[in-house]
Chain A
Amino acid sequence: MSYLSTTDFAEDPAFVDRFKQTMKGNLDLSWMDAARERVRCRPQNERRGLTFRDLDVGSYGFTEMPELIRQNRSFAPRGAAMPPGLPDLQAEVNRKSEVWAYNVEGYYEEAMTRQWNATTDIPWAELQEAELPEDIGKAYAQLLTFLTEVEMIATDVPCKWMGRLNADFFEVKNFIATQAMDEARHAEIFRKRALTTGYGLMRASAQNEFNLKFLRDADSFAEASLALHLQAEGMVLTLFRFSEYISPTDGDKKLFRLVMQDEARHVGYGMQHLKWVLDHFPEKREVIHHHLDEAENFVFGGGYATEVMEPFIILSGKGLKKENIEQGVRITVAFQNKQTDEYFERLAKCGMPERRERSRLWKMVELGKEAMGLAS
């Protein structure tokens, strides 16, 4: 209990007197005259319901929010009157450009309506009947182990930052709350699926965890978002689509379609955030490049660890025979190319087309292809 009140209320005469007056019916009512804007918001589209966009009016809205939040240091909801004496909660992130994204309010509403349930939305009974060959089953269980590790840190990162953002960034805080729920559900579903394969969880990945630690320990929310939402989740989105492609059963296909929906929404936020930053603070471009340099270094180390890549090869080639492995390597290389290409496409769309030339990631992909005897 490190935070203590400066007042012992039960012993404070002024407080006790005011409390007694209120209980006698002598109301203060000063709050009724608080200077604030009167509004009555309505849904613009009744089929959609009342959305955050419908509340974007005057001092309650987000469009007119300044870049620097100097006034509100408390939990006062944006638009509320702020009496003297509100505590300074020492939010660490008070610049709009560090968190804001075009359409963040839309991503939030989409997230809320597209929630699903890992316990009841997957045909678990049907999946239990599916017997996987041992090599496929073990490879799949290893892939699920890797994905569980990834999703646990993906839950921790938005949670870590949520309370550090200024309360005025209400829509962003709510969006990353949905992200934390999404990622927790992903960790849940991958764990559940691993434990229903008949093989359980396989081996954790040191290389992968170095990458995850880099994501968790970002120095700022802007760095965390760049590395998590755009770079890592962008690559994981392609990985989920690939995982749907190589999934052994219909139930697994559905599982990956559901997780890819959430992941694509997080990537959308990441893209719209980077666009916002570059549109409003183009001078940050070089800092972003430097952060991506290191993020990509970790990607190579994490994503290409044997316990991560080999399951892809086995699942793609559908087995461990020589011809299966050869086919699996071809498909996995095609996946890596697609993953890398889509990552640079997204950066280009955000306003960083030069990243494709500047990045060492292509070189790393080429090294991987050379090692597999598939030099282009």
Chain B
Amino acid sequence: MPVSFPSIAFFQALQGEMRAERDRFSRLGFFDTTFGVRVGSTTRGPAAEFVLTFEVFDCVRVAEGLAGAETDFVIDGSFAAWRDMLDNIHELGGADTAHSLNTLTHFGEGLQVRYDDPDGHDKLYRFAESIQEFLDLSARIDFDYADGSRPPARREKARRSGT
């Protein structure tokens, strides 16, 4: 039974995948941040907001709604931008050169990073590899979108060059 994106079930599934990869995330090191995810509204639904809390080597909390939440930063983008990234990860097993989180957020072309405190913002970079590997775990999740469509099936990646 696929989970839907965006939904709390989707992020709980990611949380479960991370727990299954404890050794891998332990090797990446302490991962202490709370950040928000905002997926813009579509004709099929309002904007969706989530808060993810990471502590030591785990994702310890997934919650819905950003109101009143204390976050280091919020990754904000249209549904289309999130879908573009997730489709790419699902198809290739991990983000390619054009779809890494840093690339998509660097100039805010795909996704934007909102923050009040530059110290909190810098945690996106202090934990960059952990966050990327967390998002790459979505390649393993059986999910669909609100319109019933699904991400592309896995193919062998030809991810070497973006030039």
Which residues of A are at the interface with B, using a C-beta cutoff of 8 A?
45, 47-48, 109-110, 112-115, 126, 129-133, 136, 237, 240-242, 244-245, 247-250, 253-254, 256-258, 260-261, 263-265, 267-268, 271-272, 318, 331, 334, 338, 342, 345-346, 348-349
Which chain B residues have a beta carbon within 8 Å of chain A's beta carbons?
28-30, 32, 55-58, 94, 96-97, 100, 102-103, 106-107, 117-119, 122-123, 125-129, 132, 159-163
Whether B160 and A126, one on each chain, are in contact in the complex, defined by CB atoms closer than 8 angstroms, is yes
CA distance A47 to B54 in the complex (A): 13
Contact between A242 and B119, CB atoms less than 8 A apart: no
Contacts of B127 in A (CB 8 A): 261
Point out the residues of chain A lying under 8 angstroms from B107, CB to CB: 245, 331, 334, 338
Q: Please name 5 further chain A to chain B contacts, defined as beta carbons within 8 Å, in addition to the given A114-B28, A241-B125, sorted by A numbering.
A: A47-B55, A114-B29, A237-B125, A257-B100, A264-B125
Please name all residues of chain A whose beta carbon is closer than 8 Å to the beta carbon of B122 when the two chains form the complex: 237, 264, 267-268
Contacts of A258 in B (CB 8 A): 128-129
CA distance A369 to B137 in the complex (A): 41
Minimum CB–CB distance for A331 against chain B, Å:
8
Do A245 and B125 form a contact, CB below 8 Å, given A109-B30, A268-B119, A271-B119? no
B residues less than 8 Å from A342 (CB atoms) = 118
CB closest chain-A residue, reference B123? A264
Given the known interface contacts A241-B125, A271-B119, the answer about A130 and B161 at a Cβ–Cβ threshold of 8 Å is yes
Contact B102 A244 (CB under 8 A): yes
Chain A positions within 8 Å of B55 at CB level: 47
Write the chain A residue with the least CB distance to B127. A261
The residue from B97, B126, B132 contacting A110, defined by CB atoms under 8 A apart = B126
Q: Which residues of B are found within 8 Å of A45, using beta-carbon distances?
A: 56
Q: Which residue of B lies closest to A267 (CB)?
A: B122
Give bound CA distance, A110 to B127, whole Å: 10
* Contact indicator B29/A113 (Cβ below 8 Å): yes
Q: Bound state CA distance, A264 and B32, in angstroms?
A: 14
Complex CA distance for A73 and B89, rounded to whole angstroms: 56
Inter-chain contact B102/A254, CB cutoff 8 Å: no
Q: 4 tightest A-B contacts by CB?
A: A114-B29, A113-B29, A264-B125, A264-B126
Complex-state Cα separation, A134 to B28, whole angstroms: 34
How far, in angstroms, from A26 to B68 measured CA to CA in the complex?
69
Are B119 and A263 in contact, with the CB atoms below 8 A?
no
Chain A residues, CB < 8 A from B56? 45, 47-48
Residue of B102, B103, B132 with most partner-chain A CB within 10 A: B102
Are B126 and A265 in contact, CB atoms less than 8 angstroms apart?
A: yes
Task: Say whether B102 contacts A110, CB under 8 Å.
Answer: no
B101 nearest CB neighbor, chain A only: A257
B29:A244 contact, CB within 8 angstroms: no
